[in-house]
């Protein structure tokens, strides 16, 4: 760390690395400081089950990573490759399933078929309005599994890239999701947790040994207080229930689990630096979005401290996008240009003011 630097990046997450790369491309001497012994932040890939298995410990899909950013930084030459994820698949305990194909006509037909099976009484008119206004402070739990085979769903037993390679949702109804949330609000981990699941090894067989797979489960909810007051036994029981729920729609799933990693709010906070265990570095509530993210008057990545900028997921455009990092650098370079212009302009303005009047 000897020597002066033009810029110091605090935190080697994906946005910090993007910012550092753009600053270095612009010719600035840049230092990245990271408290862990690996870089990547919440988008890091690790080997909790040994070197043969690779999992994204917290994040599980890349978001809208800008194509221009990928080109600017030459990410493809470093192995960056996007495997398009398949459509949504939501298996139910009664053997039915809702599929949302990419084809618009097929998607409408699937939704119409599924809705005919629902009791309209469970969908009151104002329910979606309440959900849209819903601000959640409950905790997320990331569960990573090593499997010795793919799950076989009762509702779709055949191997299908559109199912196994898509987003698998475990939720029976809106009431089901609401109950899980309210249990966490009242201080109890959800009895029937919600899960958003993907199996990246369906596309990339380098992530696990031949015939084995990695499953990534984004699950909710546990009490948000677990970030500071963890309950290891309750968290383990929560993970057991999550696997049991998968067993309900895919019999035999439990026996296919070779290893599991359960990362709750406390570990997210202590090990990965996510305050409160919040993967977005702050709730995505109305008062914390757009011009108010991270604070009103500071959505331009500046801070009240001159020369200090923010570029994490708590800023506008966050998520696994790299956009905050790139946009913060644009603001930094624009401010430097203005500063240089002012330095050049000041002597000329002073000279003009002191010049004698023309006769």
CATH number for the domain harbouring residue 286: 3.50.50
Give 248's contacts (C-beta < 8 A, 6+ positions apart).
93
Residue 148 has a pLDDT of 97
Residue 147 has a pLDDT of 98
Q: Say yes or no to pLDDT of 136 above 60.
A: no
Residue 1 has a pLDDT of 55
Residue 191 and residue 233 share a domain: yes
Residue 128 has a pLDDT of 40
Residue 123 has a pLDDT of 42
Q: Say yes or no to pLDDT of 277 above 90.
A: no
Residue 130 has a pLDDT of 37
Q: C-alpha distances in angstroms, 37 versus 12, 33, 165, 197, 336?
A: 10, 10, 32, 28, 32
Residue 352 within any structural domain of the chain: no
Percent of the chain surpassing pLDDT 70? 88
Residue 19 has a pLDDT of 94
b/e sequence 293-329, b meaning 16+ C-beta within 10 Å: bbeeebbbbbeeeeeebbbbbbbbbbbbbbbbbbbbb
* Chosen domain end from 248, 271, 294: 271
Confidence label for 348 from pLDDT (cuts 50, 70 and 90) = low
* Positive/negative CA dihedral, 263, 264, 268, 274: positive
Residue 315 has a pLDDT of 81
Residue 92 and residue 77 share a domain: no
Instruction: Specify the pTM.
Output: 0.78
Residue 204 has a pLDDT of 93
3-state secondary structure of 261: strand
Residue 117 has a pLDDT of 57
Averaged pLDDT of the chain: 85
Residue 77 within any structural domain of the chain: yes
CA 226 to chain centre: 19
Distance CA 324, CA 353 (A): 42
Structural domain total, the chain: 2
Residue 250 and residue 117 share a domain: yes
Residue 183 has a pLDDT of 96
Residue 108 and residue 71 share a domain: no
Q: Say yes or no to pLDDT of 278 above 50.
A: yes
Residue 321's domain comprises 7-48+63-82+282-337
* Lowest mean pLDDT across 155-159, 252-256, 278-282: 278-282
Task: Please write the tens of the pLDDT for every residue from 233-243.
Answer: 999 999 999 99
Contact 91, 76 (CB under 8 A): no
Residue 125 and residue 77 share a domain: no
* Lowest mean pLDDT across 88-92, 192-196, 243-247, 249-253: 88-92
Distance between terminal CA atoms of the chain? Answer: 59
Distance CA 188, CA 231 (A): 11
Q: Say yes or no to pLDDT of 350 above 60.
A: no
Longest dimension (CA), the chain: 99
Distance CA 205, CA 150 (A): 13
Residue 291 and residue 253 share a domain: no
Q: Say yes or no to pLDDT of 357 above 50.
A: no
Task: Please write the tens of the pLDDT for every residue from 305-320.
Answer: 778 788 888 788 777 7
Residue 132 has a pLDDT of 39
Q: What is the full DSSP assignment across 71-138?
A: HHTTGGGGT--------EEEE-TTS-EEEE-SSHHHHHHHHHHHHTTS-GGGS-TTHHHHHHT----P
Task: Please write the tens of the pLDDT for every residue from 209-230.
Answer: 999 999 999 999 999 999 889 9
Which whole number is the average pLDDT over 256-280?
90
Q: Which among 312, 301, 157, 147 is positioned nearest to 213, based on CA atoms?
A: 147
- DSSP structural state of residue 153: B
> E strands within the chain?
7-10, 30-33, 45-46, 55-56, 88-91, 97-100, 139-147, 167-170, 194-198, 213-222, 257-263
Helix (H) or strand (E) holding 234: helix 232-249
- Higher pLDDT among residues 32 and 352, named by residue: 32
Torsion of CA 207, 313, 12, 29, to 10 degrees: 130
Q: Verify cis geometry, omega within 30 degrees of 0, for the bond prior to 294.
A: yes
Task: Please write the tens of the pLDDT for every residue from 149-203.
Answer: 999 999 999 999 889 999 999 999 999 999 999 999 999 999 999 999 999 999 9
* Chosen domain end from 228, 246, 271: 271
- Higher pLDDT among residues 302 and 330, named by residue: 330
Residue 327 and residue 245 share a domain: no
SS3 content of the chain, % helix, strand, coil (to 5): 40, 15, 45
Q: Which among 241, 309, 288 is positioned nearest to 23, based on CA atoms?
A: 309
């Amino acid at each position: 760390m000897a020597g002066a630097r033009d810029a110091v990046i605090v935190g080697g997450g994906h946005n910090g690395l993007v910012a550092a790369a753009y600053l270095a491309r612009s010719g600035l001497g840049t230092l990245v400081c990271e408290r862990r012994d690996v870089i990547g932040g919440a988008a890091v890939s690790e080997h909790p089950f040994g070197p043969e298995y690779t999992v994204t410990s917290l994040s599980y899909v890349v978001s809208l990573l800008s194509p221009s950013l990928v080109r600017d930084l030459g990410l493809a030459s470093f192995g960056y490759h996007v495997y398009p994820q398949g459509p949504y698949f939501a298996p139910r305990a009664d053997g039915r399933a809702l599929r949302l194909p990419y084809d618009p006509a097929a998607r409408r037909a699937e939704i119409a078929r599924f809705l005919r099976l629902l009791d309209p009484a469970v969908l009151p008119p104002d329910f979606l309005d309440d959900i849209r206004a819903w601000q959640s402070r409950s905790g997320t739990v990331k569960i990573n599994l090593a499997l010795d085979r793919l799950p076989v769903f009762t509702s779709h037993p055949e191997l299908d890239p559109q199912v196994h390679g898509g987003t698998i949702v475990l939720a029976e109804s809106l009431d089901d999701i609401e109950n899980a949330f309210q249990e966490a609000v009242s201080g109890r981990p959800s009895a029937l947790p919600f899960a958003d699941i993907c199996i990246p090894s369906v596309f990339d067989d380098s992530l696990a040994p031949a015939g084995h797979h990695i499953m990534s489960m984004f699950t909710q909810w546990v009490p948000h207080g677990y970030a500071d007051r963890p309950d290891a036994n309750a968290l383990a029981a929560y993970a057991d229930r999550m696997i049991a729920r998968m067993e309900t729609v895919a019999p035999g799933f439990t026996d296919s689990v070779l290893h599991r990693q359960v990362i709750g709010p406390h570990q997210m906070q202590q090990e990965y630096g996510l305050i409160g265990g919040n993967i977005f570095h702050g709730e995505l509530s109305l008062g914390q979005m757009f011009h108010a993210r991270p604070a009103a008057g500071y959505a331009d990545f500046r801070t009240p401290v001159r020369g200090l900028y923010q570029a994490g997921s708590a800023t506008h455009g966050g998520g696994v996008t790299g956009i905050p990092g790139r946009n913060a650098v644009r603001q930094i370079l624009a401010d430097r240009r203005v500063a240089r212009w002012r330095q050049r302009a000041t002597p000329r303005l002073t000279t003009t003011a002191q010049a004698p009047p023309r006769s």
